[in-house]
Structure 1
Amino acid sequence: MTQFYLIRHGEPDWEINELYQLKGHGRDLVPLTDTGVRQVYEAAKDERLQAAEIIVSSPYTRALQTAAILSKELGLDIRIEFDLREWQPDLTFQYGSLERLTELGNDYDANHGVYPPGETKPWESKEMLSSRVEKVIDQYLGFQKVIITGHGMAIRTLIGEAAETPHASISEYTKTGSPLKSKLFSTVHH
C-alpha cells in the first residue's frame, strides 16, 4: 500500500499571463507569488510529509517551484512526470485569455467532464485526465510514502472531490497494487 500526499501548487502569479498575453502552454510558465511561496513553506512543516521518500512533480513552473521548496525543506529528490500536468482546457493549445479558460472550464463543469453523446469538446475529458494521472501514480507503488505536487483539477479528479482545492493544500490518497516494472526504481535510493 502506498500513501500519496497530493499537494496543489502555491498561489501562482496569473497576472503575468495577461501582461505578456501568453497562450496555450505558455500560460503555465508563471511562477508562484510571494504568498504562494509562503504557503508552500508552511505546507512543508506538515508532519505527514516528514516520512516521505520522494517528490513527484508536474512539469509546470508553479508545481516545480512548489516541489523545489519541498525538496529543499525535506531533503528529498524530485522526479518530473509530464503526465501530471494540469487538465488541458484546450487540446489545441490555442486559448489565450482568462475569459476563454473560464468558458472552457464552465463547459467542462456543465458536462461533468464527460463529452455529450456524439460530441467532441476542445477540452480534455475527466476520463482522459484521470487515466493519465493514474498511470503515473501506478509507477510509484513501490514506495510507501510519496509527495506529488500538481494541480487542482488533477487532484480533484483523482480523489473525487467537487470543491476547489486550496493552494498548497495536502490531500491524502492511498492506493494498493504492484508497481510497474521500471528502471525508475533501480535509480532511487531509500
Structure 2
Amino acid sequence: MTTFYFVRHGHMDTSMAGKKFYKDFSYNMMTLSEKGIGQIKETAKDVRLANAELIIASPFGRTLHSAAILSKELNIDMKVETDLHEWLADAVSYDFLPDYIAEKSYKALSENEGRHPIGETCLWESAEQMKKRVMKVLDKYKNFDSLIVVCHGTLMQYVLGIPHPENGQIEVLAY
C-alpha cells in the first residue's frame, strides 16, 4: 500500500490576470503569490512529507511552483503528471470555455455533488471521471511507499471526498 500526500497548491498570484499572455487558458500558467510561497514553505515543514520518495504535480503554473518549492525544501525529485490537471468545464472536447460557461458548469458540479443530473448530457467533468483519471495516475506509483501529489482543490475535494481544502493543505490517501 502506498501513502499519497495530496497537497493543494499555494495561493496564486493573479496580478497579471488578463495581461500579457495570461488570458484564457494561459491564466493557468500563473505562479504563486508571496503569500502562496509562504504557505507552501510552511507545508514543507510537515514531518509527514519528509520521507516521501517522489513529488508528482499537475502541469499548471501554480502547482509546478508549489512542487518546485517542496522539492527544494525536502530535497525530493519531482515529476509532472498531466492527468493531475484541474477539473474540466469541458471534458468532451477539452475546449477552453468562456468564464461564464465554466462558472455555470462549476455551479452545476457543486449543486449536483459531482454527479451529472440523470437524463442530462453534460460537458463538464464529473467527480467519477475526475477520480478515474487520477487513480490511473496513482496506479503507476503503487510500488512506492509514499509520494507527494501537488494538485488542485476541486480535484482533492471530489477525489478524496473532503470539503474544499485550503491552499497548502495536506490530505492523506493510503492506496
TM-score, length-scaled by structure 1: 0.84
Write the mapping of 1:23-102 to structure 2, written as runs, cut at 5 A.
Answer: 23=24, 25-91=25-91, 92-97=94-99, 99-102=100-103
Deviation at 1:100, TM superposition (A): 4.1
Structure 1 residue matching 2:141: 3-state secondary structure:
coil
Deviation at 1:96, TM superposition (A): 3.3
Letter in 1 for 2:78: I
After the TM superposition, list the runs of 4 or more consecutive aligned residues in structure 1 that deviate by more than 3 angstroms: 18-21
Structure 2 residue matching 1:5: 3-state secondary structure:
strand
Q: Which residue of 2 aligns with 1:6?
A: 6
More displaced stretch, 119-128 vs 55-64: 119-128
> Relative to 1, partners in 2 of residues 1:94 and 1:59: Cα closer, same or farther, differing over 3 Å?
closer
Letter in 1 for 2:134: V
Distance 1:123 1:18 in 2: 24
Alpha-carbon RMSD across the aligned residues, in angstroms, is 1.6
Distance 1:39 1:126 in 2: 27
Deviation at 1:112, TM superposition (A): 1.8
Q: Which residue of 2 aligns with 1:134?
A: 135
Distance 2:124 2:8 in 1: 21
Which structure 1 residue ranges, 5 or more long, are not aligned? 176-190
Distance 1:59 1:84 in 2: 7
Letter in 2 for 1:119: E
Whether the 8 Å contact between 1:86 and 1:150 is mirrored in structure 2 is yes
Whether the 8 Å contact between 1:22 and 1:96 is mirrored in structure 2 is no
Number of equivalenced pairs? 172
TM-score, length-scaled by structure 2: 0.91
Structure 1 residue matching 2:50: 3-state secondary structure:
helix
More displaced stretch, 66-75 vs 8-17: 8-17
Distance 2:83 2:46 in 1: 26
> Relative to 1, partners in 2 of residues 1:110 and 1:119: Cα closer, same or farther, differing over 3 Å?
same
Distance 1:16 1:115 in 2: 34
Structure 2 residue matching 1:79: 3-state secondary structure:
strand
Deviation at 1:90, TM superposition (A): 2.9
- Identity across aligned pairs (percent)? 35
Q: For residues 133-188 of structure 1, what are the alpha-carbon distances to aligned partners after superposition, in whole Å with 9 as ceiling and x for unaligned? A: 01001111101010010001111122111x2200011111101xxxxxxxxxxxxx
